[in-house]
A and B are shown apart, each in its own frame.
Chain A
C-alpha cells in the first residue's frame, strides 16, 4: 500500500509518518511509484501507537523498545533455527547435545 493508505489505516498524519521513518522505526520498501508499506509495517505502526498512546512511552523510549525488539526477534529466529536443526538430528545426538548444554549451564 502507499503512503496515503498506510496513514489512513493507522489514522496518523504525514509528519508523524515522517518521524517514524526518519527514526528508522519503519522502513518502507522503495518502488518505482514511491514508498510501499506491507501488513508487517501496519502491525509495527500499531505497536508504535500502543507504545505512545496506551503506554505513554516517549520518542526516546520508542526508539529503545524498537531496537531491542528487533534484536529479540533476531535472537528468537536464530534460536528457532538452532532448535529446528537439533530436532532433526538422531535422538542419540539430540540427547548428547542437550546434556552438553545442561553441563555448560551448570558450570557457569
Chain B
C-alpha cells in the first residue's frame, strides 16, 4: 500500500476512532469484492482500505504511524484470499445456493425461454428433505407384542405405523421417506416417531424380561398344584409345589419380551398369598386351634 491511510479512508488526521470505524464500514460496504461480483478492481481497493484500517482502526498502531514509527505498509497483511464470488459462477449451476427467483418472471409459461431461465433452478442440487419428529403413546401390550397403528401427522396425512414386537419406552421409530419432501427430486426426509409406552396394570418391563406379582390363594399356597398365569403372550399353566410362600419368584422361560432374532426374554412371577375377602369361620377356628402356628416366628430375621 502506498497511499496515506487517512486519505484512503477519507478521514481527517484528528478524526475520532469511532469516525474512522464508520468511514471504513461505509467503504467496505461499497468495495467488498463479494458485493461487487463483476468488478475486478474492487478487490484491490478493498485491500488498500482494509490495510489502512488495520493501522488506523487500532489506536496503538495509529499512534505509532502518527509518530512515524511505522509506514503505511505496516498494516498490510499479505493475505491471499478467495472470495465467494470466485466460486459463485459454478455454484449457480446445480449448487445449493442457486437462486433463479431473479428471473422468475422471464419468458412465458410454456415458451422455450421459460425453460432456459428456469434451467438453473432445476439443476442437480438434490437434497434430502427434512426429517420430522413426532411422538406417540402406545399401550404396554401393543409395544410388547407389536401392532399396526395409524398416526395422523400435524401437517395432514395419516401414516401407517408398524410397532415392532418388543418396542421399548423411549425408542424412536424411523419411517423412511415420510418426512418433508426432498428438494429438486431428492429423497424425502424421514419421520422419526418417539414412542412412549403406557404403563401396564400389573406387568412391569425389566429389559427383555417381564416382572409381576401372581396372587395365589391360601389353599394353592399350602397344597400346591396347577395355576393359570396370564403372560403378555397368553396364559400358561405352572405347577406350584406344596407350601409355596409369598415372595417366591418363579421364572417362566421365554414368556418375556420378544427380542430381535426370534428369541424372547423371560417372565418372573412373584407369588403373593391372598386371604379370602371375608373372614371364614372354619378357617378362623382351625388357625385358632393350630398349635404350630403359634410357635412360628416370622420376624426373627428383623431382630428385636
Chain A residues with a Cβ under 8 A of chain B: 27, 29-30, 39-40, 42-44, 46-47, 50, 54-56, 65, 67, 69-78, 80
Question: Is A77's CB under 8 angstroms from B84's CB?
Answer: no
Cβ A40 vs Cβ B29 within 8 A: no
B28 touches which one: A30, A42, A55, A75 (CB < 8 A)? A55
Contact A74 B98 (CB under 8 A): yes
Asked if A71 and B99 make an inter-chain contact with CB atoms under 8 angstroms apart, the answer reads yes
A76 touches B28 (CB 8 A): no
Instruction: List the interface of chain B (C-beta within 8 A of A).
Output: 24-25, 28-29, 32, 34-35, 37-38, 81-89, 91-93, 95-103, 116-117, 120, 127-128
Which chain A residues border B103 with CB–CB below 8 Å?
A: 74-75, 78
Across the interface, do B25 and A67 meet the contact criterion of CB distance under 8 Å? Answer: no
Q: Are A47 and B82 in contact (CB under 8 A)?
A: no
**Choice from A39, A42, A74 contacting B99 with Cβ under 8 Å:** A74
Known: A47-B83, A67-B99, A71-B101. A76 touches B38 (CB 8 A): yes
A75 and B117 alpha carbons, distance in the complex (Å): 9
B99:A73 contact, CB within 8 angstroms:
yes
Q: Are B38 and A43 within 8 A (Cβ)?
A: no
CA gap between A54 and B96 in the complex, in Å: 26
A29 and B91 alpha carbons, distance in the complex (Å):
13
Contact A55 B82 (CB under 8 A): no
User: A71: which B residues are within 8 A, CB to CB?
Assistant: 99, 101-102
Which residue from B29, B32, B89, B128 sits with its C-beta under 8 Å from A73?
B89
Sample (21) of A-B pairs whose CB atoms are under 8 Å apart = A27-B97, A40-B97, A46-B83, A50-B28, A55-B25, A56-B25, A69-B34, A69-B84, A71-B101, A73-B37, A73-B85, A73-B88, A73-B99, A74-B92, A74-B101, A74-B103, A76-B38, A76-B89, A77-B89, A77-B120, A78-B103
Minimal beta-carbon separation of B240 from chain A (angstroms): 56
Are A73 and B25 in contact (CB-based, < 8 A)?
no
Known interface pairs A50-B28, A72-B37, A77-B120. Does A40 touch B102 (Cβ–Cβ under 8 Å)?
no
Q: How far, in angstroms, from A65 to B102 measured CA to CA in the complex?
A: 14
Q: How far is the CA of A30 from the CA of B98 in the complex (A)?
A: 17
